[in-house]
Amino acid sequence: MKTARCRKPICLGILLAAVGAATAAEPPAFDAQRIADDFEAAQPADDFPQQKLLMEGVLPADRFDVNRYFAVLDALKPAEGWTLDWVYCNRGIGGFPVLYARRSDAAPFPDHATYEAQATNALPAGAEAREFLRYGYLDKIEVEDSPRGYFQLAVLRLLGDRFQLFWHEFYNEIHLVCSAAGWKERLKFERQRGEPYRSPPRDFVAAAKKLDFAPQVRLADDRAEVAVTTYSPFGGLTRHEFAFARTAPHRLLKHEATPLVLLEQHFVF
């Protein structure tokens, strides 16, 4: 039987109070929800015939150009002489795109295995392999040194490879929620989604009403701290806290994910 169940953290009241305290600062002076919504709208719709080709190792010539992201993320841009591209990672039980940066005049990698072999050989000293293979392209992204710039960097890191997901990778589907209005729209969508998804239960919705969804950005001397909230049909609402270096490359210094209200979907794709 397919069911959805809200599982609250043990000290939900304390956790919500802590979130309120952490988000007491003024929200950024830009429309974060619009940026998040426009970013998702720029991504291609699910295309099963193309997903099947991708899982078979075929990169279609007309595949989505991830450089279109920068029409929305206008405080970011590839470094001079660089462009973004992607290959597809077939995990057997699912698949997802892996973004990478290449010289503008260099040929794209033909497949994930070729990219992985070359990227592993170029692994920077002290870098963690899995992290670098998935997010190393961010080293080639120039970031406006502003709250808007670092918020957009968090958006790209969280959502940049969340398109053309296949099979079990849908368990890692996430969406940014940056306002009460944004949560209202997300909840409306989830309620109308239909099988095999189930509508979020009442206790989950009631707990979510107590949250402040506004992102928070603080610029310190050497780092930019960004806090955002995401929703997953298979995990619920989560607060992500990032710290990025303010000097290029804007390396990730911290990423902590704190469950706010948990949601479980008991079905398998």
The H or E element containing residue 117 is helix 112-121
Residue 230 and residue 154: Cα distance in Å, rounded?
Answer: 11
pLDDT digits over 82-139, tens only? 999 999 999 888 999 999 999 999 999 999 999 999 887 777 766 688 888 999 999 9
> Using alpha carbons only, what angle is made at residue 139 by residues 133 and 142, rounded to the nearest 5 degrees?
145
Tell me which amino acid residue 99 is.
L
- The residues pairing with 241 across neighbouring beta strands, listed in sequence order, are 227, 256
Give the residue numbers spanning the domain of 235: 4-265
Q: What is the mean pLDDT of the chain?
A: 88
Q: What is residue 240's three-state secondary structure? A: strand
- How many distinct structural domains can be found in the chain? 1
> What is the structure's pLDDT at 13?
36
> What is the structure's pLDDT at 8?
47
Q: What is residue 195's three-state secondary structure? A: coil
> What is the structure's pLDDT at 170?
87
pLDDT digits over 190-226, tens only? 999 887 788 899 999 999 999 999 999 999 999 999 9
Mean pLDDT across the stretch 48-55? 90
> What is the structure's pLDDT at 196?
79
How many residues does this entry show for the chain? 269
Mean pLDDT across the stretch 229-255? 97
> Would you state the structure tokens that stand for residue 11, as one six-digit string?
């000290």
- Strand 216-219 to 4-7 pairing: unpaired
Give the count of alpha carbons within 13 A of 48, CB side only. 1
**Given pLDDT bands bounded at 50, 70 and 90, which one contains residue 80?**
very high
- Could you tell me what percent of the chain has a pLDDT over 90? 70
Residue 143 and residue 150: Cα distance in Å, rounded?
Answer: 7
The H or E element containing residue 78 is strand 76-78
Residue 45 and residue 29: Cα distance in Å, rounded?
Answer: 30
Residue 219 and residue 207: Cα distance in Å, rounded?
Answer: 30
> What is the structure's pLDDT at 202?
96
> What is the structure's pLDDT at 84?
98
Burial environment of residue 135 by CB neighbours within 10 A (0 to 12, 13 to 18, 19 or more): buried
> Would you state the structure tokens that stand for residue 117, as one six-digit string?
């072999």
* Alpha-carbon distance values, 260 to 30, 211, 238, 240 (Å): 24, 8, 5, 10
pLDDT digits over 24-48, tens only? 345 678 999 999 999 999 999 988 8
> What is the structure's pLDDT at 168?
87
Most distant pair of Cα atoms in the chain: their distance? 55
